[in-house]
Structure 1
Amino acid sequence: MRGRSLDLVARLLGAVTGRRDAPARRERLHEDDAAHLIAPLFDRLSSLLVAHAAPLALCAFIATRTDAGWPLFFLVADLALLLARGLVVLAVRRRRDPSPAALLRASRPYFAIGVAWALLTGLFCLMCYVALDDEASRLLAATLAMGTVGGIASRNAATPRFALAQISVLLLPQVAGGLYNGSWHLAQAAQVLVYFIALCSIVRRHHRDVRRMMDARREMAALAARFDAALTNMSQGLTLFDPEGRLRVANARFREMFGLSRDEAPIGISAPLLARELAARGLPDAEAWALPTGHPHGRAVLDLPDGRCVALCQEAMPDGGWVTTYEDVTERRRAETRVRHMAWHDALTGLPNRSLFQERLEGAVVRLPAGASFAVLYLDLDRFKEVNDSLGHAMGDKLLVAVAGRIRNCLRPQDIVARLGGDEFAVLIDGGATAAALSDLAGRLVRDVGADYAIEGQAVSVGVSVGIALAPGHGTTADLLLRHADMALYEAKGAGRGTHRFFDWDMSSRLQARRDMEAELRRALAGGEMELFYQPQLSMAGQVTGFEALLRWRDPRRGLVAPGEFIAVAEESGLILPLGEWVLRTACAEAASWPGGLHVAVNLSAVQFRGGDLHAVVTEALRLSGLPAGRLQLEITEAVALEASDQVVSTLQRFRALGVRIALDDFGTGYSSIAYLRKLPLDKIKIDRSFVRDLAESESAAAIVRAISTLGTTLGLTMNAEGVESAAQLERLRGLGCTEVQGVLFSPPRPRGEVPAMLRELSGAAAA
């Protein structure tokens, strides 16, 4: 039904034009548009009454001037059509809000009746021309027709085909009547025809204007809808004020951002009133930023009471108004804060990092000329690597977090503690702390940080050493003070760890001496100044079982330098790795030429187990020299045994798998423990020379040697006693159960070229 109504309207509107593009125009005429054009026809009945009044009056006038019955017929028909049109209009108007489809359905009878009325009126005028010989009646008929079509052209131009149909059936009979009467009526017919053509053109042009206006309104409505959708869905709040300072546009995001309802921020509210409404909600400086002059650059960031941050941007409009956008930048601010925190703080402990500590230290240095003073503490954990190696890095990280907390608890709120990296921390004590107070603080740090930790149900233990530098006495630059605190820390480490030291200027000299030693060691290693001496090891029967390789440095200036003077520097600098590799290769190569099954004993440093692949170094030394693995004996120190990590044990077991023998040196001193004998794959125990030296004067020393010998025998280990200097000591050791000895009683360490001579001498002594 709706489709037929629309089609009927289109046909009526196109009846007169007869244009070929009518189907296309019908396709472009939407139902809503057609209904919009038709709707004015049903607005008022008065226009219908006025339109019908003149024909009815003329019909009545003509009926009085002729005895014919046709005027009465037209009068009655006109009244009937008026009634019919009025009923159609009333039926539509009774509907409060008729739909486009309802209007289109109502237009069908309305158009039909309207065209019928126009045709009836046109025929009536024609009858006045052909049935009457009365110029007055003809003049009135012409006036009626011309005036009526003028009203039709004005009222129905929005429905051009309907208007043109009515104009045609009203005026064309006039043209026919003029042609019929001839004479001067021909001129009248021509004028009516011209008027007809002009009206048709006016109606069409007016309709095109109406359609353009409708298209423009539709585009504006679509643009407004898109604009409204954009305003509704944009993430920013937006307000637009006119030149008088009244709100004209406010999107939903603005109201949501500030908790405003439409009643609280209606369109038309003034900027000051809106500012007071916002100020009532606790918004800071609402009166300032709500007005266009509140911020000279048009930008500001508001910190709202609920913790949110809103960035606003004001832009002036050409007409004097202004537009303001509001963006919630809370998350951006938080992200920026996190980024800044990450840039200046340690990710693991949350403490300031080296960069922030350096900045604060430089700030403290700037205040020195004003009489300020402060102290820098440099902290380094003791035995932290053992925790990492034995318990894993995850446990080490948890330990560092716990250590950071304990350090923080030892300090005042204004003091700064930073993690410089690894297990190193620094503290800035800003203020005139005395040396005694700083010493107490360092002692408290050593005590509290060194107390046992319980992490994931496991007991963990580390210590801490502290170096202290005072400003301005120990330096007036940040780098110098931190370096001097590091020197003091180095001294604390060298003093046995778990203690603190203040910087003194002699430390710089000692450090420089160590650096010189390190440089000379590098030169000596590259220049071939290192050589091996050998000391024989004998069984209790006097047979030489092997030699211990002992490193010597033949320095052109110092002469022959013992290892005790340079090994510590080599270990600290990392030179022990290439130096130890050289010792292994050289000892294996030189021992390969010895007679019989004599072994060679080589000392290993704990640093060698931590740096590089020691197993590969030993394997390569054996391969290059051709020395059987069973003739190589590796002596490990107490430091290696103390670690006893899975890596150390695994490496020693791999040596044993090769056939290499393992000896524990200097047993009985320091942290020596029977647990080593159970955990480590050992072949020999070397009793420390201090027990051998005290055998004559100390029964306790003899008791310890006897106990160690008994234990070693029970475990199937060879017991070696070092430092034998007299026959009395030898006899006593024989009675205590030792199975192997070495010392100056037999021979001091001698160069490799003297090994054959030592073998001859010792063989002769054994035979005697």
Structure 2
Amino acid sequence: MAEHVVRAGLPGVALPPGGFDGDAGRVLAPDLARPDAAGPADDPAVERALLLEAQRIARMGSWTLDVRTGQAYLSEGLRSLCGLPARATLTDLLALVHPEDLPVLDDFQVALRARRSSQPLELEVRDDTGQRSYLVRARPEFESGGRVVRVHGTVQDFTRFRALERQLSQDGRLFREAQRVARLGTWEWNTVTGECLWSSMLYELFGVEAGSKITYRDYLQLVHPDDRSWVDQRWQELAGTRRPVECEHRVIRPDGKRRVFRVRGESAGTDSDRGIMIGTAQDVTEQRSTETRMQRSSKRFTDLVAITPVGIALFDDSERLVDANDALCSLLGLDLERLRGMTAEQLTHPDDRDGRRGRESQSFHSGQRVLVTATGKPVYCELNATVSVADDGQRFWLVVFADVTDRRRAAERLRYQATHDELTGLPGRAAVKELLGKLLGGRDYERIALLFCDVDNFKRVNDSLGHDVGDELITALARRLERGLPPSCTVARMSGDEYVIICSDVEEAGGVEALANQVASLLRTAVPVRDQLLRVSACIGAAVPSGPETSGADLLRYADAAMFAAKARGTGRVSIASDKLIASANSQMLLEGQLREAIMNDQLVLHYQPVVGPDGTVLSAEALVRWPHPERGLLYPGDFLPVAEQGDLLGELDRWVLRAAFIEAAEWPQLCGGILGGGVGIAVNLAGLVPGDPEFVDVVSATVAATGIAWDRVVLELVETSLIDLPSRSREAMAELVERGVRFAVDDFGTGYSSLARLKELPAQIIKIDRRFVSGVATDASDFAVARALVDMARAMGRSCVAEGVENATQFHVLRGVGVDAYQGWLLSKPLPAKEFREILKLGPVHIPRGN
């Protein structure tokens, strides 16, 4: 029954108590009349045919049920509509109803049974697929006693009507939603009566109660007073000319809110409705507010571009300048009319233009460019660009030109300062490494030579004549080297009194030995400085690459080692790095790496030598570092401190000694009579970590805090030369630590080529007399006089004296006689490991032998 896809449902009706049997539902007659009624007097066949055609067109059919006999009639139109066979019964018809609609049929049956009126009842049901809808109408027929004897009804396919109804409902909903989203309402105006019809959305937009009567005058009252006159004039033009009108005006709603509306209106269209106008009204307040902000922002942007100090220009896709601000015109020295139409290449300086030829990317939109001014002067600019689109859709580039000429020059100055010596203007350490890297990376590395020069006894010049004189001497020697060496040589200053000469073609200079002798001759001279002649000389160490794998650092090490070898032979000497010397330098490098590892892994140890008072009481102890080397045994400072100095490890070594010494001293017995009467002090000799170091105070403070040692037990020893001519920042660093309780000691005092008058200037509380004066204090009148003078001056200035290197009882007693406050030396104790030194502390005062 594929042709029965569409089926009809029939309402349940008041049926006899026994229901229907198989024959009860048979078709009784082919016409539409009751079973017992006669046909029309005229041609019944014609009438029947017409009626069937009408039912087909209306997509409906009819049925009749005799309640007394249970016999039912289904019209041919109904059977055709529902796809039923000729002998279909009412039961067949009911079987086509959707299961969910069967309860509704039962209710319909009950209603018909209780019906006392011949007015028809209606019911809508679906077929068993749920895809089609049918409208069922039924009218009861009563006998004289009021009992229902027959039921007449129709079944009509209502699917199209329901679909149309749903579409109309959906269209209406979408229309309402569209109005809500667009904030748009519709209106109709009768220009004759003045009455208006508004959509519900329009009531909401104007803030008027929905459904209230609105006239044209009511609408005008809502228009802003300043706009009312011209708005009325526009609408009257619409009424008179019937030409469409569009305008935008302000509205003051009943709640006082001000809004902006865009209103459109035109004639309804037909001549009969000549007085009817229809249109829309849209709330555009937010759009206009946004546009106003954008206009103001655009104006501010335009003003900003005009007054901004950086150049700004617009370029089209072909990189031709379209517009520019005053800053760019001023930067290039050209007015806007001359700039317009110029290409990016024409704006670029010729030098930069030539340098960019052949590159894949020559974009003018980012990076850096060198522009050219009207006078041909180069201007270094940093470019930033973005793509924008004009209102007409044309794309253009907005480019910002930041003048970085001064910044570039400052950067060049900084780079020069970073790579060149400030005093002499010679290339510095960084420039030496860079130049060596370039030369050694080339093919002619065998022609390269490096000379390391160290001025003899320069420290004495600084200490005796002052640093200013030393600076003048260094500068004069630099100029002498520059003037006296061949063009293939580059003179550089590494630090202090050390020069480096890099020769890119040693054969041109006559060989490495001849070049070294020439340099030695240039540095062996008398230099006039401040009305006096300073005779100087220098030791020269020379080296050449040992192979293609030789690096710049290697070459520097080899030349440095050769220079030390020359210095060991005396002043003004020259030494060429040999294979043996290179092997020794490599060994030193290996030792440097091992020392670095030993510091990092706590593989060093400390020995402690006591400093005692006149009665033998241990006042403090000096921490002395030792290195238990796994292959070479116990190494003393003289064995590895030069390695640490060359490897720039002195600072790290000082940090390690500070921490280890403070940790050990924090656990010593708190004996009376310590350095300040509060415990045995701990003295650390510093060589790399000095007051001039920016981290000096922080390192000392952090170490004291981490180890828990008292501030007043800390003594920091510095050599005399490191305390001379201290800058104010260094003095402030020392003073900050002194306020916390730290004491500073001048180690080896009297050996720094300084006058005794400088003793007053030293920011130290303890003076340690050098062992060279102590050794002869009992036998040499000069040494005795120096020792006594030092003690007297120290006492007068509130400082205490410690004698170093006290080896015998006679020295001790002589020094005690002149008033020395404390003593250190093998007479009292040799440096001891930590465990043994603790035993010394437990025994009490050190025994002091009587003198001879």
TM-score (structure 1 length as normaliser): 0.46
TM-score normalised by length of structure 2: 0.42
Structure (1 or 2) with the greater helix fraction: 1
Of Structure 1 and Structure 2, which has the larger fraction of its residues in strand?
2
